[in-house]
Amino acid sequence: MCYSAAMSLVFFLMSAGLLFTPGPTNTLLAVGGAMAGLRRSWLLPLAELAGYMAAIHLLAFALGPMVQATSAKILLRLGLGLYLLWLALRLWRSDAALLPRQTVTPTKVFIVTLLNPKALVFAFVVLPPLAGGWSAARPQLLALTAMILAASLSWIGLGAALAQGRMMHPRWIARVGAIVLAGFALLLALSALR
């Protein structure tokens, strides 16, 4: 296998692994799919894509050296942890009658994705260095775009399938999502304090 083919395979496996692994954004997407269905959640993948691309570009071009400093990483993790805890509380306390409209919005998905630690891995590990310009990474960015959309649709579809199959009541799906988000908030807080 030639070097570029091996690097492409590594890029694909790392990207797919990150995007399909459960996390805060994927939890929101699954809850959104369960609450509103696949058809009414069509803006959520675009919000995730915008969040990842904004984060990657901000990290690579503007904040890279600062974010790599220990104190900035701690503040980023604590900030995301607090936001996830706030979202978890809102999900837990949400009114069952309003769940499809209030639970998961494109803005919430964008913010969680913008602050998602996975963006750090994409910006500094998975993608080629972007600081010199993004044209060298164009093929990887296009492939990453397709993978982000595929992964988000998969998570939304999973949530919609759970709700449609009546495997869980929508109120309990929101509660499970709240518990998962609170768990991620706790993990982020613990990792920031280490």
CA distance 184 to 164: 26
How far, in Å, CA of 4 to CA of 108, rounded?
37
Helix (H, G, I), strand (E, B) or coil at 3: helix
Residue partners of 84: CB distance under 8 A and separation at least 6:
24, 112, 181, 182, 184, 185, 188
Sole residue written with tokens 């759970």: 162
15-69 residue pLDDT tens:
888 898 888 899 889 989 988 888 889 999 999 999 999 999 888 877 766 655 5
What value does the mean pLDDT take over residues 158-169?
A: 77
Quick check: 1 pLDDT over 50? no
* Domain edges within the chain: 27-193
Per the model's pLDDT, the better-predicted residue between 16 and 175 turns out to be 16
**pLDDT value at position 9?**
84
Q: Which pLDDT score, from 0 to 100, does residue 3 have?
A: 46
How confident is the model at residue 189, as a pLDDT?
75
Say which residue, 77 or 162, is predicted with more confidence. Answer: 162
Q: What is the pLDDT of residue 151?
A: 96
Identity (one letter) of the amino acid at 163?
A
Helix or strand (DSSP H, E) at 91 = helix 70-93
Calpha distance 4→136 (Å, rounded): 14
pLDDT higher than threshold 60 for residue 101: no
Give the tens place of pLDDT for each residue, 105-158.
Answer: 999 999 989 988 788 778 877 787 666 666 777 888 999 999 999 999 999 999
Contact yes or no for 6/137 (Cβ under 8 A): no
Nearest to 156 by CA among 7, 21, 20, 38: 38
Is residue 88 within 8 Å of 182, Cβ to Cβ? Answer: yes
**Residue 20 contacts residue 154 (beta carbons within 8 Å):** yes
| Residue for token pair 């990150």 | 18
